[in-house]
Structure 1
Amino acid sequence: MEGLKVSKLNLTIYIHPSKSNQVSQAVLRELSSMLFTYSEIADGVVLAYDINSLDTCAKILPGVFPYVGVKLKVNFLLFSPKPNTLLEGKVVKITQEFIHVVVLGFSAAVIAEKDIREEFVCKMKKGQEVYASRSNKRHVIKVGTMIRFSVKSFDEEILHVYGSLIPDHTGSIYWLDKNLEVVSRTGRSEKKRRIEPERIILEQDTVDGELSNLDISQKRTNSKKQKHRQES
């Protein structure tokens, strides 16, 4: 899935003087407070972190309450969906107007009817609303379906994604992956059929050495005449 990235940053964590004897614990608490919130410094929602190095020489900042500045290098795993990137999520609700999706278990996404391609039509099936493809009856999006969709925009404040099912390569992940596999197998079979005649010709050329097409034709004619004499 797109929208995930790892970012390496050099940070300075400011710790209250009362925590100066527990620097490591204070740093971990500060980093943990960043989880599942949008960080402007990292340009993404922090999903996880890993501290590479921690400077033990903390610098005391001047002021009424002299905070301690601790420098460290951190690897952040970020959720940073950009427009036109592809995300994957689980459908949790379907109405005539919207498809509601949860991404990575924490971010809500919504796909409006206007952003769903005309191939899909909303209808009732077994007592629940689904979006079914007109061109392929097996391509159905319902509650519980894992779908792949394109990002239109991302609200960083409430971690809300606005998505789209307009591109052809979006929809039910199960159907898309299976369909691509079938297309891939078909393509390989057609390629094999196209290659086989050439392979046979090459083998014939290898066996017959440098025989010309005229020589090969003459041999076939002589063989047919000999067979006809034997039958007579």
Structure 2
Amino acid sequence: MEGLSVVQANLKVYVDPSQSKNLSSAIFRELSPLLFKYDDAFDGVLLAYNVHAPENKGRILPGVHPFIAVRLEAKLLVFSPKADMLLEGKVVKVTEESIHVIVLGFSSAIITYEAIRNEFKYKTKHGQGLYVNRSNRRHVIKAGTMIRFVIKSMNEETLHIYGSLMPANTGSVKILEKFSEHTESVTINSTPKKRRSKEKYEVAQITEHGSVVKDAPSQNNYDRENKKSRRS
């Protein structure tokens, strides 16, 4: 899925001196509120972090209420969705007007009827709404389906994504991956027939007399030798 990246960052955290005995816990308490929120500094949403605080790197800042400034080396997992990126998410609700999706377990997305290509037709089965592909009946989008869609736009404050199923490379992830595997298999197994027959002929020349013959003569040279022997 696009939009995910690991970022190396140098951070500075300010900790109260009273928490200096358990500095690791204090650092995590400062960083935890940043999770699952859009931050301009990261140009995205912080999903996870792994920090390393070098020893003896804390410095007490002077003032009425002094703090310890701790420099950190961190690896950050950032979700930075942009327009036209491909995302994957789990469908939680399907109606005739829209498809509702959860991305990475925290961000909601909606795909409206206008953003669903015409080859999908809305139906109801056992009281459950679903979209079925007209040309492939097995390509079904319903609650619980993992789908791949394109980002149209995003509200950074609410982390709400507006998606689209118009491109041909969008839809059920399971069906798309099966189609991709089938296409690769056909490409790998397809060998030109002319090339195969040529390979068989070359093998016959090499093994005809029970031994390996280097630079075996072509068929034209073989015919010329036969004609000469007949004349003689």
- TM-score bracket, normalised by the shorter chain, equals 0.7 to 0.9
| Structure 1 residue identity aligned to 2:49 | Y
CA distance in 1, matches of 2:205, 2:26: 78
144-153 or 57-66: bigger deviation: 57-66
- Structure 2 SS opposite 1:198: helix
Report if the CA contact (8 A) 2:53-2:70 is conserved: no
- Structure 2 SS opposite 1:92: strand
> Who is 1:72 aligned against?
72
Deviation for aligned residue 1:100: 0.4
Q: What fraction of aligned residue pairs are identical, expressed as a percent? A: 46
Report if the CA contact (8 A) 1:91-1:100 is conserved: yes
Distance 1:214 1:149, change over 3 A: same
Distance 1:206 1:140, change over 3 A: same
CA distance in 1, matches of 2:93, 2:223: 70
1:210 to 212, 217, 222: 217
Deviation for aligned residue 1:21: 3.8
CA distance in 1, matches of 2:42, 2:55: 20
> Who is 2:174 aligned against?
174
> Who is 1:199 aligned against?
199
How many aligned positions are there?
219
Q: Deviations over 1:145-169 (max 9, x none)?
A: 1111112223222222221111111
CA distance in 2, matches of 1:51, 1:22: 15
| Structure 1 residue identity aligned to 2:191 | K
> Who is 2:149 aligned against?
149
Deviation for aligned residue 1:197: 2.5
Report if the CA contact (8 A) 1:102-1:109 is conserved: yes
> Who is 2:104 aligned against?
104
Distance 1:90 1:59, change over 3 A: same
TM-score, normalised by the number of residues in structure 1: 0.83
Matched, 1:23 2:23: yes
Report if the CA contact (8 A) 1:60-1:66 is conserved: yes
5+ residue gaps, structure 2: 209-215, 227-232
| Structure 2 residue identity aligned to 1:191 | T
Report if the CA contact (8 A) 1:14-1:69 is conserved: yes
> Who is 1:60 aligned against?
60
Distance 1:14 1:126, change over 3 A: same
RMSD over aligned CA atoms reads 2.4
5+ residue gaps, structure 1: 220-232
CA distance in 1, matches of 2:120, 2:104: 25
Deviation for aligned residue 1:204: 4.2
TM superposition outliers: structure 1 runs of 4+ over 6 Å: none
> Who is 1:119 aligned against?
119
Deviation for aligned residue 1:170: 0.9
Q: Deviations over 1:55-106 (max 9, x none)?
A: 5332233433222211111111112222222211111001112110111211
CA distance in 1, matches of 2:17, 2:99: 50
> Who is 1:6 aligned against?
6
Matched, 1:84 2:84: yes
| Structure 2 residue identity aligned to 1:78 | V
| Structure 2 residue identity aligned to 1:210 | P
Report if the CA contact (8 A) 1:55-1:71 is conserved: no
Report if the CA contact (8 A) 1:17-1:65 is conserved: no
Distance 1:92 1:152, change over 3 A: same
